[in-house]
Structure 1
Amino acid sequence: MKSARYLLAGAALAACFVTQAVRAETLNFGIISTDSSSALKERWQPLIDDLNKQTGLDVKTFFATDYAGIIEAMRFNKVQFAFYGNASAIEAVDRSNGEVFAKMKYKNGQGGYYSVLITNVNSKWKSVDQVLKNSSDVNLGFGDPNSTSGTLVPSYYLFAKNGVSTRTSFKSVLPSSHEANLLAVINNRVDVATNNTDMLDHLKADHADRYAQVRVLWTSPLIPSDPLVWRRDLPQATKDKLRNFFDHYGEKDPHEQAVMAALGGYSGFAQSSDAQLVPIRQMSLFQKKEQVQNNAHISDADKKAQLAALDQKLSALDKLAAK
């Protein structure tokens, strides 16, 4: 009887270890809401299926209604790795124990993509100068607050540099996803909207008739390609499996190359690190400096202190960029 009890106890303990091992290998992959969840799942699921098959991991896709939902899910370990834009990756690194480990590679050889300002091809808005000079008459479709191409890049390069405030200069500002902003422009529900060249490429490939309804008014400087971020506390063995998969995916296999192309004209992945976020951090800090400088509701002393603190952060980033 005693030996039987030992056997039962041993079996229960072994089952416990097996359960823990399975759980350790079960991961949620977060995907930011640049499009509808159904469209994103259709594009990403073939890659996830290949990932599971090649690594033995049990990876499931995780979606949220906005970027913050993925960032918070990673913060509370509901998501273990994720596909972000650069601006949202900064939030994940700073708030959610994240670390950049890879970035997308483009089939056309470019090192990134572009933010754009778009309007309907039949709209009265014919140039970006016309929009900027008459912003009080413009209904703007804007990006998610954590979007690089939908918010951060146009806020800095297009609006702040031209003395236009997204808070006060426009007739209305309607934050939404890239997909919703595209449809709003096509259906004349907004005058202009921010977006990016990845989404336009998808639209051109999938709905050429809708693409013909879009006019690009402005194109940004190059934005570094989107990163993949994992939680720093993932087991090293799991990190090794993920890195090995992403380092080689799409290199030669025709099926994998087709999967990458369907994701948005990508050819695969390259290794990366938090260093790729430095230019985006600099841009964000410059934008904050302008906001402080133009804020009439804080004292000169507070303004001086805030600007000094921002300059100190910028100086530290300059040193990182130099390395």
Structure 2
Amino acid sequence: MKKLKGLFIGLSAGLLMTACGTETADTDTESDGVEEVEELVLGYFPSADVANMAESARPLEEYLSDQLGIPVTGEVMTDYTGLIEAMRNKNADVAFLPPFAYVQAEERANAEVLLKAIRDGSDSYVAQYNVAADSDIDSIDDLIESEGLVWAFTDYTSTSGYLFPAQQMMDLGVDDLDTHFTQIDVGAHDTALLSVLDGQADFATTFEDARVRLEDEIPDIFEQIRVIGTTEEIPNATLSVRSDLSEDLKERIENAFLNMNDDPDMLEVLADVYNWEGFAPAESEDYDVVRDVYSQFEDLIEE
């Protein structure tokens, strides 16, 4: 399995030079190691086209700047590893982290979860297996019984895009994912679905239900793509912060995001960016099921 690379795309020129982790006059570190910052960088994980996400998310950054009383700048990463590295290097202070990326960020970047997303009225979700409407593949068992199929997914570290489906298929009898399937890492959930539509992949694994992200572009996407199965429940993505931020700032950040639950305009922005409906409190222990899956794939991911 190829080594993951932490590349990212900034939303504005010179963003990393102004991030709170750099040695500038904008950052003061107290003697006890708690940082007091005068600006924040909010990192996004990719779930759709990066440029479109950047544009859709700008009202969110303006809202947070107003709520917190300090400038908030956004940055959309091209992969999950880049987002974790940005937190580790203090080039991102607050981040939307998918479940597995959060577990890694807690371990590698001392990240702390504050909240988890609400989607479809729930704080958990499933991964789904997608095929073309006219595909001969009708079930997950068909995937297990057929070698050589092309599998499209977001990223090797994606909880719903790769890890939970990978674990499920191994539990169902696939001895070696690398030889059983031809795997293509395509970078985003909607891109994985397009790979199926374009005939480049036999099936794709995505979050539930990623098809909605293509509905504007392809109105009949729900007719063109069939879902043949799902995984077990996964806790939703997180709103996490660098743990060395001050407790006061963390509380203000948490409250600002919880306040979105009562703000129709901001809920519309969240829906546009991630199809989320709000936020709920979260604890590190909520992600133990993700840690269990991580333990099975840690060696492969670290290759």
Among 124, 127, 140, the alignment partner of 1:112 is 124
Mean Cα deviation higher: 184-193 or 35-44: 35-44
Matched residue type, 2:283: S
**Deviation digits for residues 280-302 of structure 1, max 9, x if unmatched?**
1123335679x9xxxxxxxxxxx
- Alignment pair present for 1:262 and 2:272: yes
Classify 1:198/1:215 alpha carbon distance in 2 versus 1 (closer, same or farther; 3 Å). Answer: closer
Q: Which consecutive residues of structure 1, in runs of 5 or more, have no partner in the other structure?
A: 1-16, 292-323
Classify 1:189/1:20 alpha carbon distance in 2 versus 1 (closer, same or farther; 3 Å). Answer: closer
Among 269, 278, 282, the alignment partner of 2:288 is 278
Contact map agreement 1:132 1:164 (CA 8 A) in 2: no
Among 24, 36, 43, the alignment partner of 2:56 is 43
Among 242, 250, 262, the alignment partner of 1:231 is 242
**In the alignment, which residue of structure 1 is the partner of 2:32?**
none
Write the distance in 2 (CA, Å) between the matches of 1:206 and 1:276: 35
**In the alignment, which residue of structure 2 is the partner of 1:301?**
none
Q: Which runs of 4+ in 1 moved over 4 A?
A: 17-21, 286-289
**Deviation digits for residues 144-190 of structure 1, max 9, x if unmatched?**
121100111001123333334212212x1112221221110111111
Task: Note the 1:1-323 alignment, pairs <5 A.
Answer: 19-20=26-27, 24-106=37-119, 108-134=120-146, 136-170=147-181, 172-177=182-187, 178-204=189-215, 207-251=218-262, 253-286=263-296
Residue 68 of structure 1 deviates from its aligned partner by: 0.7
Write the distance in 2 (CA, Å) between the matches of 1:41 and 1:182: 21
Classify 1:47/1:89 alpha carbon distance in 2 versus 1 (closer, same or farther; 3 Å). Answer: same
SS, match of residue 212 in structure 1: helix
Write the distance in 2 (CA, Å) between the matches of 1:142 and 1:267: 24
Classify 1:18/1:72 alpha carbon distance in 2 versus 1 (closer, same or farther; 3 Å). Answer: closer
Q: Which consecutive residues of structure 2, in runs of 5 or more, have no partner in the other structure?
A: 1-23, 29-35
**Deviation digits for residues 107-158 of structure 1, max 9, x if unmatched?**
x322222201111112232332222111x23111133121100111001123
Contact map agreement 1:25 1:238 (CA 8 A) in 2: no
TM score, norm. by length of structure 1:
0.76
Matched residue type, 2:94: F
Mean Cα deviation higher: 198-207 or 271-280: 198-207
Write the distance in 2 (CA, Å) between the matches of 1:165 and 1:43: 40
Matched residue type, 2:39: T
Classify 1:92/1:288 alpha carbon distance in 2 versus 1 (closer, same or farther; 3 Å). Answer: closer
Q: How many residue pairs get matched? A: 269
Write the distance in 2 (CA, Å) between the matches of 1:166 and 1:143: 16
**In the alignment, which residue of structure 2 is the partner of 1:308?**
none
Matched residue type, 1:89: Y
Write the distance in 2 (CA, Å) between the matches of 1:19 and 1:232: 19
Residue 38 of structure 1 deviates from its aligned partner by: 1.3
Matched residue type, 1:119: V
TM score, norm. by length of structure 2:
0.81
The sequence identity of aligned pairs, in percent, is 27
Contact map agreement 2:112 2:241 (CA 8 A) in 1: yes
The structure with the largest helix share of the pair is 1
**In the alignment, which residue of structure 2 is the partner of 1:309?**
none
Mean Cα deviation higher: 77-86 or 31-40: 31-40
Write the distance in 2 (CA, Å) between the matches of 1:156 and 1:145: 12
Classify 1:43/1:246 alpha carbon distance in 2 versus 1 (closer, same or farther; 3 Å). Answer: same
Classify 1:274/1:76 alpha carbon distance in 2 versus 1 (closer, same or farther; 3 Å). Answer: same
Q: Which has the larger radius of gyration?
A: 1
Contact map agreement 1:104 1:226 (CA 8 A) in 2: yes
Contact map agreement 1:186 1:210 (CA 8 A) in 2: no
Contact map agreement 2:190 2:213 (CA 8 A) in 1: no
